[in-house]
Amino acid sequence: MDMLALNVPISFGENGNYRRFTVRGWSDPDNPVRSWTESHVAELEFKTGLLKRDPLLRIEAVPFLADQALPYQELSVYLNGLWLNYVRADNHIVLDTRFPRTYLNSQRNVLSFVMPRATCPRDEGWNEDERTLGFAFLKVELLDS
């Protein structure tokens, strides 16, 4: 398990470092800068050092949409089982969440993304993609600001 330093993002896509942090629910990248979730739950795992202040979690992602058939996605974010935030997204999001530093464990942290509206395009007859798509992630980072 890798260390996640403050102000150093987990980046996604073919050029990203996200594979060092993945636990489950992530697709192989099909783009240089984004990676799709491929389940109703996707998780990242990391260690941190001791923090002096409450950090800000920043998530940058794009929802999987299908016009009127799927006009929005929902995303709930949990850290070590503790709820952090929720968003209903119909476009590109930058979701900022400040949380108590006591939510972090110095040895192991699991950041979970729950997407109840994630959908398999093949099952819906939209195309042949068999993944259950929720969001394409671009960046996740802990900020000291």
Question: How much is the pTM?
Answer: 0.95
pLDDT digits (tens, 9 = 90+) for 23-76: 999 999 999 999 999 999 999 999 998 889 999 999 999 999 998 899 999 999
* CA distance linking residue 102 with residue 52, whole number of Å: 10
What average pLDDT does range 15-30 have in this prediction?
95
Could you identify the residue written with the tokens 């398999």? 120
> Cβ contacts of residue 66 below 8 Å, gap of 6+?
119, 121, 124, 126
Q: What percent of the chain has pLDDT over 90?
A: 90
pLDDT at 111: 98
- CATH topology for 10-143 is Jelly Rolls (2.60.120)
CB atoms within 10 A of CB 144: 12
What would the mean pLDDT of 109-116 be, rounded to a whole number? 98
Domain boundary assignment for the chain: 10-143
Distance between CA atoms of residues 128 and 112, nearest Å: 27
For residues 55, 112, 104 and 47, what is the CA-based torsion angle, rounded to 10 degrees? -100
